[in-house]
Amino acid sequence: MKIFFILLFLILNHSVFAQSSMRRCTLLPVTDSVGGAIGFKVFEQVETELKNSNWCTYISNSNLINVFSRYRENLPQYLKSKEVLTTVSEKLKVGSLILVSLKNEINGIDAEIKIYGENGEDLYFSEKASLKTDEIEIVSQTINNWLEVYAKTIPYDAKINGVLGDQITLDVGKGYPINIGQKFIIKRPVQTKKHPLLKKIVDWETLILAEGKIFNISDNQALGIIKAYKSDKKVIAGDWVRLEEFKEEDKEVKTDEDNKTDESPGTLGVLSLALFGSSSSVDAKTPTDSNRMSGNIFGVDLRVEGWVTREYFAAIEIERALGSLKETSGNPTKSSVNVNNSTFKLTGGYKYLPIGFFYGPQIDVYTGYVKHTFDLDVSETDGFGKNSISGIVLGTAVNIPLNREYRFVAQAEFIPLPTFSEEDSIYGSAQMATSMELEIGLKYQYTTRMTIDGTIETLSNKARFGGTYKEVSYKDNRLKVGLSFNF
């Protein structure tokens, strides 16, 4: 199991959110001088506009409202605290903290907006105005107008939140105008310039790192491919992406290589069909001897996985293997036995996407029911017959793209409290049983919706008893080759 923890560590390091994007924003409680009577209504209207905007992925701070309410009397001062702003940014993973304050005057309302960065100190934007009215709609519209101006000052269109080889994942606002085939430039900020009086950032000095193009879009994220490097510095999470103007010629005819990734991979699930050859053995400790039979058997594996959502899935898998095993050690009464083994799995789980995109690394964690059935020619003297090991299974699987064509896959599962049962009443009740399965291999993206799969698989099932028949165990080392179809 150690190898899977190492793989997990490596995968997670592909996705390091070095900085939160300015295009992930939250609106802090709007303060006023009349006990929140105006501020609450303005907050509702501005928040609704932010949720519908495409420049910002709005993150609600509703979970923090109870915390803010404890400091209602000193809330304006509390919200100016660098420590408070930093904490909010860390909790919500946002890079634009929008702070609005209102003050009632005789002839209207003084409105002010300040937008801070994730460190709670960098001031990105500030405006204030004396409005000759106290109408909620006008106050809210003024703030929304300021936010539109701020959106145009953000020095990038997206931030990189994951890097895997030449592929990058971009964090963009939901509905942000971005197109497949659109070219982009990757930059890295190296220095900021602040206004000498206002102390807000007015300019960023950047270094150009690479150029590329967008080849897929999903929700508030996009997937890009780097085409040319302009610096010897490595592209990392947190670097900026500036989109170039989308032109008709960008809608170029794609190569077969591009189409493998650009087209939809399917939306419902995946069907996998594989043939396998197995080097198998069965060991039985009987009252008179320890008998081993071994040989090669062949079978078929059918698996269907359905995606309930992008993260949650359910799967059913059926295996069937036939062949014969010959005497290897001991003195069994039969020199060979026929084998008819099968496996049934019904599982469901969660698919974690470390860089947030379906084409990137995937980590599955799942549970369900598994039954392994071992059907050998009955020979009570030799300890052979039909029995099974079943129970609730726990498993994890990883799927890592090595490049645009190959993906590395690995899987480990075990039954924590397996149950042994038999039809021939040879062994009786088991004192203990174990069941484990390990698999490792590659997937080749042959077409957009089909992969060619090759894996090596090891299965180990064992049961021990307190009677004269001490133990029975089954081991299989398989080479599996098959196809997977997305649908």
How many helices (DSSP H) and strands (DSSP E) are in the chain? 7, 22
Residue 369 vs residue 52, higher pLDDT: 369
| Whether pLDDT at 5 is above 50 | no
The angle that helices 136-153 and 39-52 make with each other, rounded to 10 degrees, is 40
Cα distance between residue 229 and residue 232, in whole Å: 8
H helix or E strand, kind and range, residue 322: strand 312-329
| Whether pLDDT at 246 is above 90 | no
Q: Both 148 and 161 in a single domain?
A: no
- How many domains is the chain built from? 3
Q: Both 292 and 416 in a single domain?
A: yes
455: number of CA atoms within 13 Å, CB side? 26
Percent of the chain at pLDDT exceeding 90: 51
| Whether pLDDT at 255 is above 50 | no
Domain range enclosing 413: 269-486
State the Rg of the chain over Cα. Answer: 31
> Phi/psi of residue 416, each to 5°?
-65, -40
Averaged pLDDT, 266-291: 90
Q: Per mean pLDDT, which range of 140-154, 209-223, 382-396, 441-455 is the poorest?
A: 209-223
Tell me what pLDDT residue 223 has: 85
Tens of pLDDT, residues 424-475 = 889 989 999 999 999 999 999 888 789 999 999 999 999 999 888 999 999 9
Whether 61 contacts 27, CB under 8 Å: yes
The model's confidence at residue 165, banded by pLDDT at 50, 70 and 90, is confident
Q: Which two tokens stand for residue 462?
A: 């064992």
Tell me what pLDDT residue 309 has: 80
Is position 258 within any domain? no
**Residues β-bridged to residue 403:** none
| Whether pLDDT at 254 is above 60 | no
Q: Both 287 and 429 in a single domain?
A: yes
Is position 391 within any domain? yes
The model's confidence at residue 251, banded by pLDDT at 50, 70 and 90, is low
| Whether pLDDT at 275 is above 50 | yes
In 361-449, DSSP assigns E strands to 362-379, 384-401, 406-414, 419-422, 430-447
Q: Which positions ≥6 away from 468 have C-beta within 8 Å?
A: 286, 287
Q: Which two tokens stand for residue 228?
A: 């040319």
Tell me what pLDDT residue 355 has: 66
Name residue, tokens 């090669």.
296
Residue 463 vs residue 17, higher pLDDT: 463
Tell me what pLDDT residue 297 has: 96
Q: Both 140 and 38 in a single domain?
A: yes
Cα distance between residue 26 and residue 437, in whole Å: 46
Q: What is the mean pLDDT of the chain?
A: 86
Is position 81 within any domain? yes
Averaged pLDDT, 326-330: 91
Q: Both 195 and 299 in a single domain?
A: no
Last residue of a domain, one of 153, 186, 210: 153
Q: Both 204 and 70 in a single domain?
A: no
